[in-house]
Structure 1
């Protein structure tokens, strides 16, 4: 008799004790009980190649021994006293983040989730300039609290029946399905230029900040063209509006750079991070330049933010990324994956677009008329799961295959993934 409940009993308990807003992948979901680097194992011992990394969290691999040993030692030494007391781990981690983040970002505030980091970043911007209106991108996703949910430009995640005012949305840089009906580069960054118009006609001129994901993950791995953020920053600086870059899903070597915004040669005013910083430990952060951060003087705290265990995990993650050159590995393995998907695209016309940076790659599945094909995606994802490959699903219509594996994935793993994808896609009707 198995020591585990099994999927059916897990689903029974989920239905009885968990709020129904929490969904799950797969029509027949496995129960996962073990992880080891790029692999997961279900309750029956079946092995899966994880190509989603817990939604871009496990960048350094499941139960990475170099990280977990340090965390386990810390758990046995000192777990938590709150950041109102002195412990050195939080300061050492903040120092390391100041060294690896772009530009002049220097001072950090630690919390536990990406939502909390984004909420804090928005508060910091308002404190700094005394303004209140906010800008965001259509199809962005920034969290589940009231403010971050209202800055989310995806209808399925906007469950607040009483929306917050003073928020304005700009067209997102989704070149495959341009919201403005244009083509790049002839468009001359029309989606960025639209921000100027929105500031002029939709706001009162009291705009504090604009928040953007560098790559829109939940929207379908939407990757802006190279010069997009430079044009956007020029417009925002003209109106004294801060740029908040949300790196919750894209940070920590995911895109072939330590942070995705480095691919665009732009320095954020404030940047947020979470997910991969703890490699499974709950930790997040927002970081800013000194002149902005130093305006936050009234009392503020996050009870669990940056405690000794999560800070130890963060330091161990940064050390592992550097020592094992995960930035370069992400770039090389990402190119292998993207090239392989482009080759499949030439073979299967229902792959409408392949896009991504590093090991954050999306393949959009379409019908002959270019309309989204979520039914095709469901078949591919379910069949690949049965073969032992876990692929994410993103996009507004949930028609984008999302590949965000642990950055320790091997060349052989990716070849195996592509070969199986080829076989499964040959069965798509």
Structure 2
């Protein structure tokens, strides 16, 4: 039982000056923010550490030497217990889509909280039908039938089950470098050793080569759908891509050698998220989808990180590849931090579950539906997709210059506000930068007032995936902070 004496109150002054890295003496200031956070009044830091060690089943994150105690959020900003303000470029792992505590989302949730929190989807509740109609309108025909669930892992579990139930086949293909969840089934779809436990997970999963045009054996200067290409040389004639052809052949080899004549399906992210914004050669997914369909399989697009306009050019990532999946999964940004996820498919595939009962206790929860509906409204009303396109281009073009200036920046990639900086020890071999050096860089960036993530199999890729409410000033400030952190790293090493 928590004792009142364990509570602590901090009263702190507002400050926009950047701590750390000596930026204050250089006159660099954060962009202005009119929001005034409340004083911190909760458990002391040391007390929470003791509770964590005694009772928490989760490993505390090791992004920084001393874990952050975050206190409050507003739009793209977060505050810690001492009142320091941070520009959030990680969005709670790509989850805060329209901004922390967005006023319109908060207002909608508050209204619903006073009406009805939960019943069951065995009853009819207006917010459920209002939401699924609104969500269905964002997807092309025939993707119009929706199952609401609670997380991305759960959504991918259901998609896997749907593919096998509908086709009557068992084998599922996935890509190396993929992340599709941490449940026992979705872990089988995941191909990053960081997230794999040494236990049997889901049988019948076959990982194919990751078509990474920077780290893979093939890649060139025109491969990917991004404003920034790799620095690898390319002799392909217009309209052709040697790298794409080779990665397609690798996929075909797995189909010809490792599975039966029919498969249940193939799952992929339009851009790999946890692996560090890895993009495939243009045209790769289109050819792979055709091969899977030829084997009677279904194609599943995992839009957990790429959906809801984050890529800028399209509302859904699969649209940028000119493909039509049979099933789409989504989570994270769908609820702006509220536990909500969905599986969208065709009526024919959805009806496959009619062979037995399928039920989800919290799927279609009135609170979740209300929040999801408000998020969609904000995305459309505030033009967050267009903002992602414009600001993502601004940031990537600025970051691309780092490759010439810093020996450790091997690649800059992404689309919209989904960006990765691949840090290397050697640009020729593309050897990942030692983890301890990446940790130093991230520590300096945090101390300067910017939060971002890391990814890839070695956690050496800086992941930039902010709330889609940034300003041009925020982008320029973030680029300046990264530049200074990399400059400081160069001086140390």
Which of the five TM-score ranges fits, normalised by the shorter chain? over 0.9
Q: For residue 380 of structure 1, report the CA deviation from its aligned partner.
A: 1.6
Equivalent position SS for 1:177 = coil
What is aligned with 1:348? 406
Deviations 1:239-259 (A, max 9, x none): 121100111111111111211
Alignment of 1:195-274 (within 5 A): 195-256=251-312, 257-274=314-331
CA change 1:204–1:406 in 2 (3 A) is same
CA change 1:275–1:423 in 2 (3 A) is same
Equivalent position SS for 1:140 = coil
Match of 1:285 among 342, 349, 358: 342
Match of 2:455 among 383, 389, 394: 394
What is aligned with 1:410? 471
Equivalent position SS for 1:159 = coil
Q: For residue 346 of structure 1, report the CA deviation from its aligned partner.
A: 1.9
CA change 1:315–1:20 in 2 (3 A) is closer
Q: For residue 182 of structure 1, report the CA deviation from its aligned partner.
A: 5.7
Alignment of 1:368-379 (within 5 A): 368=426, 369-373=429-433, 374-379=435-440
Q: For residue 160 of structure 1, report the CA deviation from its aligned partner.
A: 4.8
Tell me which structure has the larger Cα radius of gyration.
2
Bigger Cα displacement from structure 2, 379-388 vs 156-165: 156-165
Match of 1:189 among 245, 248, 257: 245
CA distance in 1, matches of 2:75, 2:319: 27
Match of 1:380 among 441, 452, 465: 441
Alignment of 1:7-406 (within 5 A): 7-21=45-59, 23-178=61-216, 180-181=217-218, 183=220, 185-256=241-312, 257-297=314-354, 298-368=356-426, 369-373=429-433, 374-406=435-467
**Unmatched 5+ stretches in structure 1:** none
Q: For residue 306 of structure 1, report the CA deviation from its aligned partner.
A: 1.8
**Unmatched 5+ stretches in structure 2:** 1-7, 10-40, 224-240
CA distance in 1, matches of 2:59, 2:175: 24
The answer to whether the 8 A contact 1:212-1:245 is kept is: yes
Deviations 1:84-141 (A, max 9, x none): 1110211221111211024421000001010000001111111111111111111111
Q: For residue 194 of structure 1, report the CA deviation from its aligned partner.
A: 2.0
CA distance in 1, matches of 2:181, 2:295: 26
The answer to whether the 8 A contact 2:243-2:281 is kept is: no
Runs of 4 or more consecutive aligned structure 1 residues displaced over 4 Å after TM superposition: 180-184
Q: For residue 24 of structure 1, report the CA deviation from its aligned partner.
A: 4.1
Deviations 1:309-359 (A, max 9, x none): 000011101111001111110000000110111022221121000000100
CA distance in 1, matches of 2:90, 2:352: 38
Q: For residue 189 of structure 1, report the CA deviation from its aligned partner.
A: 3.0
CA distance in 2, matches of 1:110, 1:190: 38
CA distance in 1, matches of 2:203, 2:440: 40
CA distance in 1, matches of 2:391, 2:105: 22
Equivalent position SS for 2:42 = coil
Equivalent position SS for 1:73 = helix
CA distance in 1, matches of 2:294, 2:483: 49
CA distance in 1, matches of 2:284, 2:86: 37
CA change 1:276–1:209 in 2 (3 A) is same
Q: For residue 4 of structure 1, report the CA deviation from its aligned partner.
A: 2.8
CA distance in 2, matches of 1:224, 1:69: 40
Equivalent position SS for 1:280 = coil
CA distance in 2, matches of 1:37, 1:362: 22
The answer to whether the 8 A contact 2:262-2:295 is kept is: no
The answer to whether the 8 A contact 1:365-1:376 is kept is: no
Q: Scaled by the length of structure 2, what TM-score is found?
A: 0.84
